[in-house]
Amino acid sequence: MSALVLGHKNPDTDSIIAALAATHLLLARGFDVEACAQGEPAPETAFVLERFNLTAPKIVKEVADRDVWLVDYSDLAQAPEDFSKCRLQGIFDHHKLGDVTSDTPLECWIQPVGCSNTILKMVCDYYNVAIPADLAGAMLCAILSDTVLFKSPTCTQMDKDAALALAKIAGVEDINALGMEMFKAKSNLNASPRDLIFRDFKDFDMGGNKIGIGQLEIISLDMISADLKDALNKELAAVKAEGRHSAILVLTDIMKEGSEVLVASDDASKVLAALGANGNDAWLPGVMSRKKQVVPPLQQAFKA
């Protein structure tokens, strides 16, 4: 039975494309693997898959008794519920080291870069595995998405170099134009408040507290009406009530390069203080990255 190559819950573009890229890499190295996902592609990811004529990975909810490779995460909160019953084989990730464990030695490629697909490009180069044009284009899009067109503080020179190399393979001449097409797709707000919150949502264990953090990236926050913001706040309270200490939604303005935060919490003042916000709807200039600018200060606050 093939091993599963699996991204996190509520998959974003990096998670789904990384599953495809890691599967290509591992197959070339002689492993029997198949790409999987824990959910349907979000609008941006659907655009990328259609743009480069790729098929979305099959959806998997259970991994018991299977060999599993993880891409784009290593936190149990983002894994299938029966993850403890699988056999972890390896990890390709660019986040903090999470709390997954293994019974046997495993292969890990974890680097402090802006995107998991940057790491996969590096590993493909290491093993001399050629990347086909369609996959290269999708990997390029994943890097543009995760680094917000290289504007995110998580972006490194390694991400930029990988993007340029992938663009050449894919025959993409105007990276910025491709990125803006993606972000227009990502800015589609034609969904329920709950779907918008969970479009890119991750749960974290912080000091024994379950903290859920969603991020909604759009070209301009002016697209979010007062009525929609009220609906998001109401739904966020419902999400918090599902067993979480806090539910947070980071609303990121891609062009203005900053974010607002919506918070439903048992201790909203603690959450807002950790993020440097003086209340809901506070503008946080330069805050673009959940991974680097939202999760670390919250983890530090909840250690106390």
Q: How far apart are CA 203 and CA 268, in angstroms?
A: 17
Q: How far apart are CA 253 and CA 42, in angstroms?
A: 18
DSSP string, 77-99: GGS-TTGGGSEEEEEEE-S---S
**5-31 pLDDT, tens per residue?**
999 999 999 999 999 999 999 999 999
Considering the chain, tell me which residue range(s) the CATH 3.90.1640.10 domain(s) occupy. Answer: 3-184
The CATH architecture one would assign to domain 3-184 is Alpha-Beta Complex (3.90)
Q: How far apart are CA 202 and CA 211, in angstroms?
A: 8
Residue 111: phi and psi, rounded to 5, are -135, 145
Q: What pLDDT score was predicted for residue 304?
A: 60
108's enclosing H/E stretch is: strand 107-110
Span 215-233, average pLDDT: 95
Considering the chain, tell me which residue range(s) the CATH 3.10.310.20 domain(s) occupy. Answer: 193-303
Claim: this prediction has a pTM higher than 0.75: yes
Span 117-145, average pLDDT: 98
Does residue 111 surpass a pLDDT of 70? yes
Q: What pLDDT score was predicted for residue 277?
A: 87
| Mean pLDDT, the chain, whole residue set | 95
**133-154 pLDDT, tens per residue?**
999 999 999 999 999 999 999 9
Does residue 159 surpass a pLDDT of 70? yes
Does residue 303 surpass a pLDDT of 90? no
Q: How far apart are CA 61 and CA 133, in angstroms?
A: 30
Does residue 281 surpass a pLDDT of 80? no
Q: What pLDDT score was predicted for residue 258?
A: 94
* pLDDT band at 39; cut points 50, 70, 90: very high
Cβ atoms of 29 and 23 closer than 8 Å: no
CATH of 193-303, one of 3.10.310.20, 3.40.50.2300, 3.90.79.10, 3.20.20.70: 3.10.310.20
The runs of H, that is alpha helices, within 147-218 are 157-170, 175-186, 193-197
Does residue 204 surpass a pLDDT of 80? yes
Span 272-293, average pLDDT: 88
* pLDDT band at 278; cut points 50, 70, 90: confident
Which position has the token pair 């390709």?
92
264's enclosing H/E stretch is: strand 258-265
Q: How far apart are CA 152 and CA 105, in angstroms?
A: 34
**264-277 pLDDT, tens per residue?**
999 999 999 999 98
Does residue 130 surpass a pLDDT of 90? yes
Tokens coding 4: 């599963």
Among the listed residues 98, 124, 127, 126, the one whose alpha carbon sits nearest the alpha carbon of residue 110: 98
